[in-house]
C-alpha cells in the first residue's frame, strides 16, 4: 500500500534504505514507498535533494549549543560526541557528506557556531576549518570503526592479549583519541599565539 507522500516521508524512507542497504536508487525508494518513481518528482526535484534531506535528518540531532556556552576544547569535545552518536546510528550515511556540497541549514548552522567559537578563542581564520575538519574526520572514522575480533587461533598472541584485557572498549578508544587530538590543537593554538 502506498504511503502518503511528502518530502519528510521521502527523506525518512531514503534513510531507512540507506540504513538497510547502504545506498538507494530512486527506483528502490519508489518501490519502498509503494509508488512509481515519477511520483517522487511531485515532491522533490532530484536525487540530490533527497540526499540533502537525508543529511538533514541525520545531522539535526547533533548538538552544537556548547559552542555558544563553553570554551572551545570542551565545545568541540561535546560536539564530537554528539556527532559520533548521530552517525553511529546511521553509519551508511557517512558517505553522504562526500556525495555533494553541504547545503543543509542544520549542518551549516553547526559550522557557523563552531567557527564563531574558535574565532572568539583566538584561532586565526586560516586555521579554523583545519580544526573543524580534523575533528569531523576523526568522528566519522570512529563511527565506521570497531575493535577487531579476537583471533580464533594462536597466531596473534599480542593482539589477543590486548583485545581480551579488562579495559578494551571502543568508546574508551574514541575518548582517548579525542583527548589527544584536542590536546594537540591546544598546543597548536599556544604556538600560534606565541608567534610574533
Interval 104-162: pLDDT, tens: 788 889 999 999 999 999 999 999 999 999 999 999 888 887 667 777 777 888 888 87
Q: Is 36 exposed, middle or buried (0-12, 13-18, 19+ CB in 10 A)?
A: exposed
For residues 194 and 112, give the distance between their C-alpha atoms in angstroms, rounded to a whole number. 26
Handedness of CA 152, 158, 161, 164 (dihedral sign): negative
- Which pLDDT band, with edges at 50, 70 and 90, does 33 fall under? very high
CA 83 to chain centre: 5
> What mean pLDDT do residues 167-183 have?
82
- pTM score of the predicted model: 0.83
Amino acid at each position: 500500500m502506498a504511503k502518503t507522500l511528502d518530502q519528510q516521508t521521502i527523506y525518512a524512507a531514503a534513510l531507512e534504505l540507506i540504513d538497510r542497504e547502504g545506498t538507494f536508487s530512486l527506483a528502490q525508494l519508489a518501490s519502498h514507498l509503494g509508488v512509481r518513481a515519477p511520483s517522487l518528482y511531485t515532491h522533490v526535484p532530484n536525487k540530490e535533494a533527497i540526499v540533502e534531506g537525508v543529511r538533514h535528518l541525520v545531522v539535526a540531532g547533533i548538538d552544537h549549543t556548547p559552542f555558544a556556552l563553553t570554551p572551545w576544547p570542551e565545545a568541540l569535545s561535546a560536539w564530537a560526541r554528539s556527532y559520533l552518536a548521530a552517525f553511529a546510528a546511521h553509519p551508511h550515511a557517512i558517505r553522504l557528506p562526500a556525495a555533494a556540497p553541504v547545503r543543509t541549514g542544520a549542518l551549516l548552522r553547526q559550522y557557523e557556531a563552531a567557527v564563531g567559537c574558535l574565532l572568539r578563542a583566538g584561532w586565526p581564520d586560516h586555521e579554523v576549518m583545519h580544526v573543524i575538519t580534523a575533528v569531523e574526520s576523526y568522528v566519522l572514522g570512529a563511527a565506521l570503526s570497531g575493535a577487531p575480533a579476537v583471533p580464533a587461533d594462536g597466531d596473534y598472541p599480542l593482539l589477543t592479549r590486548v583485545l581480551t584485557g579488562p579495559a578494551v572498549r571502543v568508546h574508551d578508544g574514541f575518548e582517548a583519541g579525542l583527548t589527544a587530538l584536542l590536546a594537540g590543537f591546544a598546543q597548536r593554538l599556544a604556538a600560534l599565539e606565541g608567534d610574533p
